[in-house]
Structure 1
Amino acid sequence: MAEMWFYLLVALLPVAAYSGFRFGRKSAERKLHRQTAGLSRQYFDGLNYLLDEQPDRAIDTFVKMLEVDSETAETYLALGNMYRKRGEVDLAIRSHQVLIARPSLDSKTRKKALLELGLDYMAAGLFDRAESIFKDLIQESRHKATSLRQLMQIYQQTKDWSNAVTVAEQLQTVDNKDHAAEIANFYCELAQQQVSQNHVKAAFQSLKRAINIDSKCVRANMIRGELSIQEGQYKQALKYYRELVKFNPEFVSEVLEAIKSCYEKLNDLKGYKSFLRNTLPYSVSVSVVLAYADLLREEEGEAKAAQFISDQLEQKPSLKGLLSLIDIQMSQIGSAARSSLEVLHRIIQRSFDSKPTYRCSHCGFSGKTLFWQCPSCKYWGAVKPIVGLEGE
C-alpha cells in the first residue's frame, strides 16, 4: 500500500510544479506568492487525504486544486484508473464523472474520460451504462477499436449473440485482425439459442454462416451433424462429420460414436469400416485405431486385433491404446499371468485417468472438459483434444 501511494505522489508532483508555472506566467510576483501558497496547501492537503485513505476528500481537494486542461486532466484520469485497478470502482466512477462534468474540459480529453468511465461501468457490471457510452464512442476513430472490443465483451457477457456478431464483424474491418474463430463461435451460440426456441431452420442458417466465416469450424459441423441425426438425416450428418474430420482430424474422437451410429442406422457396416480404413493414415487419434480393432476382433478374432493395435502403437504410442491391448491379452492368457497384467493395467489406468483430456493451444490451460471458449485466456476455438502418448 505504501509503495502505491509513493508512486502516486511522484505522479502528482509535476502537477504542482506545472500549475505553479502557469500561475506565475499570468500573475505578478506578489500575486504569484499568494496563489502558489494556496495551491501548495491544497495540494498537500489532497496528498494527506490519500495517505490517510480518505479518497472522497482527496477527490474533492484535487478537483478544487487542478485547473482542468489537457495536462492536469491526465493525472486526474490516472487517479481514477488507479481506483479501478484497486477494485474501488465506485471511486473510479466518481473521479471520471467529476472530470467529465468540468465545463472547461476540451473535447478530446472528455472523450478519453468517457472511455475510462465506460471501463469503470464494465468493472462494476453496469453493462447497460457501459454499452451506451461505447456506442457513442464508436463514432470516434481514436476510440473506435477499443469501444468495439468492449461492446463485444458486453454482448458475450449478456449472451446477445446477434449483436456480438455484428460488432465483431465491424471490429475486423477496424483492427485488421482475424476474428473468424470468434465470429463463427458467436454464430454457433446463436444457433444453439435458436434450437432451444425450436427454430431449427434458422439454426442451420446461422451454422452455414459460421462455416462461411471459418470453413474449419469444428463446432458448426458438430452441431449440424447432431441436428441432422435428430431429424433422421443420417447421410447428411455423415457429410458434416466427414467435413469435420477432414479439416480437424484431432477431433475425430469427439464424433466417432455418432459416426458409427449413423452407419448402423443406414445398415452400412462396410461403409463404416471403409471410413475407418480411409481415416487411419492421417488420423492422430488412437480412437480410430481402437474402433478398427473392434471390427477386426469381430471378423477375424482377438489375435488379429491385438496384432493390429501392437503395430499401430509402434507408430503412435498411446496409453489408451496400451490399455486396450492389455485387455485383449488378459482374455487370452491363464489366471496366473493375468494377475500381473491386471496390476499393470490398474497402474496405467490410474496414470491415464489423472491426465487432462483437452488443452488450450493459446495459453496451455488443460482439463477434462471441452470448452469452446477457453476459461483462462478467453480465446474461442483454441481448446482441443490432447493427442500423443497421454491423450488421443
Structure 2
Amino acid sequence: MSNDEETDAITRREAIVYGSGAAVSGLLAGCLSGGDSTDSSTPDESADGTETPAESEDGSGTRDGSETPEGTPTESAETYSVTMSPTGTVEFESPPETVFTRLTHHADMAFALGRGDTITAMHAPEYYDGLWNQFVERLPGVSLDWTGLYSSWQPSKEKLYSLDSDIHLADPAWITKQDKWGKDDIEEIGTNVSPWFGNSLSDRHAEPSEAYAGDYEYYTLWEQFEIVAEAFQEQERYSELAAVHEGLLSTIDEKLPAESKRPSAVMLASADLDEIYAYTLSNPGFLTSHTQPFGAKDAFDGEVPTNTVVDFETLLEADPDVILFLGGFEPGTDLGKRREAFRSDPVASKITAVQNDQMYPQGARYQGPILNLFQLEMTAKQLYPDQFGEWPSYESGPYPEIPEDEQLFDRQRVADAINGEI
C-alpha cells in the first residue's frame, strides 16, 4: 500500500467510532492488504435444514418507544449515532464504504441500499450469488456479483484484520454462540478494525450466548433494515422500499380468504429424500417473514416442531394441501425431478399436495428486503391462486416472468430504489 493509499484509508476509518453500552471508542486501526477470497464452501444445511442460519411483519417499517430514536444525530452536526441490539450505539462521521457480512439477510440489506458491490465477505458467496441472481434477473438495470468474496461462515480474526472492512454487518452474539470467539475477541476487532452492527438471533428468537444474555432485542426483518439504512444514511432508499413492502402487505391483507378457507401447508428442505427437514410457516422470527402474513394452517397441527426431520409416512399423516420446497430456486435444482420423486413413491403419492400438483419452489429463509418482496409475491400465488393469480409453471431457471398486470409489486420501482434513482 502506498503512503497516499494508507493516508486515505486511515482518514476514512477515523470517520467511524464504535460504542456499546459503555461506549468503547477510539481510532480504528489501519489498512492491511486484502488477502485471497476464493473460499467456495457450500451452505451448511445441518444448522437448520436449509442454507445456514422476527417477529411477524406488520408492514409498518418503523420502530418506536425508545427514549433516543435510532439514527438521532449527536450534538455535533458532523456525526450521527445509530443503535441496534446487541451491539449498542455506533457513532459515525460518514457512512461505511466497505461491508463485512456473514449471513444473507445482511448482505441483501447492503445490496438493497446500493452497497452490493462494497461487500467484502459473506457466507458461501458462489452459492448465494447464483441463488440471488435468479431474482435479480427480474429487476431491470440491476446487477449483482458476489463471486470471489471471502466465505465468512467461520471467520478468523486474522482475516478480518486483512479485509479491513469499514463495518462488520454481523451479529457478535451469533458469532460467539456458533464459533470459538469470546467477547474479548469481538471487542478487539470492534476497536482495532471497525464496529459490529448486526442482529441475527431475531431469525427464530434464539437465546444469545451468555456474553450477550439479558439485553438482547428481537426485530422484524424490516425493523432491522430500517436501522441498517440509518447506519448507511440511506433513509430515502429504505423509505421507498418500505413503501413497496407496505403496499404489498396491504394487498395481501385485503384479499386473504377467511381462515376456514385457508390451506394447510408445510415447507420442506432436503439435499436428497433420505433426510427431509420440515418447517412450519408461522413460528417466531424473520425466517418466516414471507409466510407469516398468509395464515396458512400448520399441516402438523403443532405436533411436529419446525426444523424436524420427517419421513413420507409423517408427511402423509399430516397430509398438507400445499408443499413448499425450500431451495427450489437453487441453480441446478431440477424441481420437476423432485416432484416426480414424490409422485412415484407409494406413500408420498397419496399426499393431497402431491395428488393435486401443489408443490412449489421457495428461495431462502435468510432473506433480506429484496428477496422478501419476491417471496411474499410467490407465496401469495402459491397458497391463494384464486385471490392473487396463479403461480406460473416453474421447474428451473430465474424467477418466472409474471405479466405486469399480475405482479404484486412494481419491479421498476424496486430497481430504481436500489440504483438510487428515486
**What interval of TM-score do these two structures reach, taking the shorter chain for normalisation?**
under 0.3
Looking at secondary structure, tell me which structure has more strand per residue. 2
* Greater share of residues in helix: 1
Kindly indicate whether structure 1 or structure 2 has the higher relative contact order, using CA contacts under 8 Å at least 6 residues apart. 2
Rg larger in 1 or in 2?
1
